[in-house]
Amino acid sequence: MDFVSGEIFAIDKPLGWTSFDAVKRLRGAIQRRLHVKKFKVGHAGTLDPMATGVLVICTGRATRQIEGIQSGVKEYVATLRLGATTPSFDLETGIDARYPYEHITLELIEEKLPAFRGKIMQVPPLYSAVKVDGKRAYDLARKGKDAELKAKPLEITALEVLEYDPPLLKLRVECSKGTYIRALARDIGESLGSGAHLTALRRTRVGDFSAERTLSMEQAAALIAHASLEFPDWYEQNKKTE
């Protein structure tokens, strides 16, 4: 493997890991394999800690492809819990309000979903990495401070019901870069005259990278540890001196 010219890993990010956790794990594996103190590794599109699924990680010069990769269409399978909201719009925080959901039928859901397809405007969650006056919104949220976030344009190319077993609603979503599925859950809940938050989220595709062809963190680390190196000149010049 040529980590300097660039390798691309499609990882199945575990539940509870941040995207940075995954990058750090693979960067460490590469540094140990090459005996270097520093190495460039990045990911193509943040995945929330409470989400699982496709996380594309690039090494070396392949990090130049990150912008192009993360601009591709993303696909998710999202499970919404109707009738309750949380400040983070997922399970990172506890329920803060409850609403009736008994009136929500599959017919009502199908009636409301078209409003969320196509090009729409979306207000990001307060628990997000969006910057407000130079500070991350989630830092303000965790300190109990309110911030006004501006709506941003995005496109949802597909939105369909996979299963409805009240109060749980499972959806398949195809969307553009910058879409917050947590915010989509919030908005769908409101449109149904109720509230909603995510109880599960899995990213199944990023551009050409699909969940069926991902590696676990352990598999990726093992692959790196046993890889045949293809750049001995660079390796000899940059390895740590013993």
pLDDT digits (tens, 9 = 90+) for 139-150: 555 656 666 678
Tell me the residue type at 6.
G
Higher pLDDT, 232 or 171: 171
227 pLDDT tier (thresholds 50, 70, 90): confident
42 pLDDT tier (thresholds 50, 70, 90): very high
Does the bond joining 153 to the residue before it have cis omega, within 30 degrees of 0? Answer: no
- Answer whether residue 2 shows pLDDT above 50: yes
- Answer whether residue 241 shows pLDDT above 50: no
Per the residue annotation, which of 12, 21, 48, 96 is the catalytic one? Answer: 48
**The model's pTM:** 0.88
Average pLDDT score, the chain = 89
Classify each residue of 56-87 as buried b or exposed e, where b means 16 or more C-beta atoms within 10 Å of its C-beta: bbbbbebbeebeebbebebbbbbbbbbbbbbb
Question: Among this protein's residues, is 2 annotated catalytic?
Answer: no
